[in-house]
Structure 1
């Protein structure tokens, strides 16, 4: 069981909103309305940890260990939304999200295979870590720079916790887990080939609500994410390469095999799928 150890390790590095955020360092001259709007959108996006947790608990009903870990993950993710809201409340209250805007991103996700979902969120944590580090570099106001740095470190730790559960799954279900993780790994490391940023909040999750069934589509400005990444914080190909390299590095650790490219990971995926295929019937052969 991983939950007790993960709870202890995350508890030891947990930050305090009153003591660890340098609120007194705020410089109003370094915060524009444009920047405040991006903070608002990220605050609402982070609120979607609520429906994600409901999904995790529903789809992992048979895994009490992972479900217990959700208590830690959910608390820390909601805290990300809270600290961004608190920043706006203090310094740009007119940009603070309304309760209705927050509630709008709470909607039901369709059931999905737990292993694939676990891997998708693992990659999502890696991507968020890099997005927030890039955002911290873009901002010049010292308090929000520190906030993004702190929550980016949380996302990295969450990715590490997910990786622990992925290793546990390899021990328990073997190639079934390998195939699921490799499939999603190939998808999430191929973001540069897609029109939209590949992150769980930008993927369709409720067929009945399509096309308004992504978290991003339910924001006050559904187009903000691409603009934030491409035009504002400028999450360019160099940053994207860092994300891909980190995914491949962790897949190499997980599968105990070196992957330098997405193509190598995809070949490994095909090997696993072939290995899992039932043997051909002699008569058919």
Structure 2
């Protein structure tokens, strides 16, 4: 029997948890270094981070049989909502006119259709890697010192969350074998092929409720549904070099997970086909 990961993850994340009062250098705020354009993007990120709420409801529903993972959600949910909170606090202090309303926040809370738990786990693992890089890029773009620091801090949280999801993926391999490998490889190929799609590949930008289509992505429910693409392309300039970093991290981690080196998405796709070819034979056995 595999042991629970939650106690150890709780302890390790607790040890590096940052404090909103003492770890954010609020007194270093420089109003001359914050533009209207920058401040508006902070509002959009604050609302997007609030979507951890419906994501948690989805995780708890679809992983009812996995109490270990659901217990970890208590930590993930707390830290993700804190990201929204610190961005809102920044606006409350320095741009109160841009603080999101409760109605704007509540609008991104809607039900996600049930989905296969293994695929969803991998999707969010890749999402954490992508968000870590988005926020690092945003920290470079911003000029105001306090918000630069906030984005650096929350980007580190996202990296740790990715590491925690990877631990649960490893646990799934020992339990579900090739079914887990197939699910992780399939989503890995999709999420590492973002350059082939027109829209940013992140869980908040994917359709998750057929009945609400096309208004069924988190981004579609923001005050400005077109914000994300503009933020990435025209503002923080998340270019091909940054995208390559995301793809490299996904491939590196899957190389460790599957104990086979993947230098390219094509190599990962070949592995995916190999696993899929094995699956029917395993099911028959």
TM-score (norm 2): 0.98
* Distance (whole Å) between structure 2 residues aligned to residue 278 and residue 73 of structure 1: 37
Whether 1:46 and 2:54 are equivalent positions in the alignment is no
Of residues 244, 256, 259 in structure 2, which corresponds to 1:241? 244
- The answer for the alignment partner of 1:135 in structure 2 is 138
Q: Deviations over 1:102-142 (max 9, x none)?
A: 00000000000000000000000000000000000000100
* Distance (whole Å) between structure 2 residues aligned to residue 23 and residue 5 of structure 1: 32
* Distance (whole Å) between structure 2 residues aligned to residue 210 and residue 188 of structure 1: 21
* Distance (whole Å) between structure 1 residues aligned to residue 69 and residue 177 of structure 2: 18
In the TM superposition, what is the alpha-carbon distance from 1:190 to its structure 2 partner?
0.3
Whether 1:227 and 2:230 are equivalent positions in the alignment is yes
* Distance (whole Å) between structure 1 residues aligned to residue 36 and residue 7 of structure 2: 43
Other structure's SS at 2:223 match: coil
* Distance (whole Å) between structure 2 residues aligned to residue 264 and residue 101 of structure 1: 43
- The answer for the alignment partner of 1:165 in structure 2 is 168
- The answer for the alignment partner of 1:179 in structure 2 is 182
Structure 2: tracts of 5 or more residues without a match: none
Whether 1:113 and 2:125 are equivalent positions in the alignment is no
* Distance (whole Å) between structure 2 residues aligned to residue 107 and residue 36 of structure 1: 26
In the TM superposition, what is the alpha-carbon distance from 1:278 to its structure 2 partner?
3.2
RMSD of Structure 2 on Structure 1 (CA): 1.1
* Distance (whole Å) between structure 2 residues aligned to residue 216 and residue 224 of structure 1: 8
- The answer for the alignment partner of 2:193 in structure 1 is 190
* Distance (whole Å) between structure 2 residues aligned to residue 253 and residue 230 of structure 1: 31
Structure 1: tracts of 5 or more residues without a match: none
Whether 1:250 and 2:253 are equivalent positions in the alignment is yes
Q: How does 1:83-98 map to 2 (within 5 A)?
A: 83-98=86-101
Q: Deviations over 1:166-225 (max 9, x none)?
A: 000000110000000000000000001000000000000000000000000000000000
* Distance (whole Å) between structure 2 residues aligned to residue 154 and residue 108 of structure 1: 25
Of residues 35, 41, 63 in structure 1, which corresponds to 2:38? 35
Of residues 138, 141, 154 in structure 2, which corresponds to 1:151? 154
Runs of 4+ in 1 over 3 A off after TM superposition: none
* Distance (whole Å) between structure 2 residues aligned to residue 140 and residue 172 of structure 1: 47
Other structure's SS at 1:111 match: coil
* Distance (whole Å) between structure 1 residues aligned to residue 245 and residue 101 of structure 2: 35
In the TM superposition, what is the alpha-carbon distance from 1:239 to its structure 2 partner?
0.2
TM-score (norm 1): 0.98
Aligned residues: 281
In the TM superposition, what is the alpha-carbon distance from 1:277 to its structure 2 partner?
1.9
Other structure's SS at 1:277 match: helix
